[in-house]
Amino acid sequence: MMEIMEGSHAVAEIVKYCRPQVIAAYPITPQTHIVEALAQMVANCEIDAEYITVESEFSALSACLGASAAGSRVYSATTSQGLALMFEVCFNVAGMRQPVVMSIANRSLGAPLSIWNDQQDSISLRDSGWIQLYAEDNQEAADLHLIAYRVCEDHSVLLPAFVCFDGFILSHTYEPVDMPTQEEVDGYLPPFVPYQRLDAKDPLSMGMYATPEYYMEFRYEIDRAMQRAKQVLVRAGTEFSEQFGRDYTGLVEGYRLDGADTALVAMGSICGTVKDAVDEMRDAGKKVGLLKIRTFRPFPAPEIADALRDVGTVAVLDKNISLGNSGAVGTEVKAALYGSGIRVLDYIIGLGGRDVRKEDIAKIVDLAEKGEGDMFYGLRTEVL
């Protein structure tokens, strides 16, 4: 049923339908509305779940890790400094192969303090072993939670996942969302069947000490699972598309790339603005298109190379910065297209929530076509 919903409430509603058995989270702007709504649902007996109140984000994810290891489907949500406080536990969750799903309402990191959106928080944990999915709008933010649980809990994967959507831009914005029924979700997402779990009657240990003779093999197995997750994501997305009629069959999504000489590459809500800008530039005769990356981990390098094989110039829009180098997405797109002859330029945009408008997208395309890139776009010249 189509409803006008705040992004955070749409996420909370879909999480309810996923039937988590344990929820643990700590409130932090702009994520708070999600867990506030879920806490109310638990109090109203709308979810048969244990809601654990904790004193920090570190404790929240630690509680989820323990509950998952004991055989429960779990959920958490955080952002920015809260995710940074979870850093140690994020590596433990992935290393112990627990299929935790966590919403990230993307927000910039301090210092200086900022509550506005960029994607630095989740990008900073790109090497932690978590699947990373990025939503363009509130419909996608809701849908990706169903897909995330399907993929994470697959016994060929058994990895955790971030479902990332831009703070305030999506989390606090009301949009139409086609919300499924509980019966429809149950038809897509089966009950959680743990691969193994802590049981006093059949003791085992998880996350044990590993000497150099064994540690490397553990990291190898996580990497192999991440690679297998590509096929599982495609399968889960295809089955989702067949049941709900919304297309998630690919790890990337092209928009007006046919005949394009220049392609923009982006993740998250900026893709909506880029699509509008592409339409206006196309109407003006410019041959430009968009490639949206929905899945940043596992990184879809072959899919990107295939989608962009016919363009001459690529302009990557990065809402993050790997300080001393360039944007994380731009770095990986350059690697994916290495040797192709395609010119790839990176543009750092929107840090700390700075607006990026359609006219900015058009100016970036002009810069890319002239070969001017690998820069912070939109800096205030008076402070340089």
| pLDDT tens profile 272-311 | 999 999 999 999 999 999 999 999 999 999 999 999 999 9
238, 350: one domain: no
77, 225: one domain: yes
**What one-character-per-residue DSSP string does 25-58 give?**
E---TTTHHHHHHHHHHHHTTSS--EEEE-SSHH
Q: How far is CA 33 from CA 8, 109, 114, 256, 257, in A?
A: 6, 20, 18, 35, 37
176, 286: one domain: no
Domain that holds residue 88: 2-244
Mean pLDDT by 10 residues, the chain (384 residues): 96 98 98 98 97 98 98 98 98 98 98 97 98 98 98 98 98 98 98 95 92 97 98 98 97 98 98 98 98 98 98 98 97 98 98 98 98 95 72
**Domain end call among 203, 228, 244:** 244
Give residue 1's pLDDT: 86
Q: How far is CA 288 from CA 76, 185, 285, 367, in A?
A: 39, 38, 9, 13
Cis peptide before 212 (omega within 30 of 0): no
Cβ(53)–Cβ(44) below 8 Å: no
**Domain end call among 223, 244, 265:** 244
Give residue 8's pLDDT: 98
Give residue 384's pLDDT: 67
Q: Round to whole Å and give the CA distance between 121 and 105.
A: 9
Give residue 70's pLDDT: 97
**Tally of domains in the chain:** 2
172, 86: one domain: yes
**What one-character-per-residue DSSP string does 98-164 give?**
---EEEEEE-PPPSSP--S--SHHHHTTTTSS-EEEE-SSHHHHHHHHHHHHHHHTSTTT---EEEE
Counting Cα atoms < 13 Å in the Cβ hemisphere of 107 gives 27
Strand partners, 3: 177
User: Residue 343 belongs to a domain with what CATH number?
Assistant: 3.40.50.920
263, 230: one domain: no
232, 259: one domain: no
Sign of the Cα torsion 28, 33, 38, 41 reads positive
Taking the CB of residue 187, how many other CB atoms lie within 10 A of it?
11
Give residue 234's pLDDT: 98
Percent of the chain's residues with pLDDT above 70: 99
191, 217: one domain: yes
Q: Which of 371, 328, 317 is nearest to 127 (CA)?
A: 328
Give residue 381's pLDDT: 80
286, 218: one domain: no
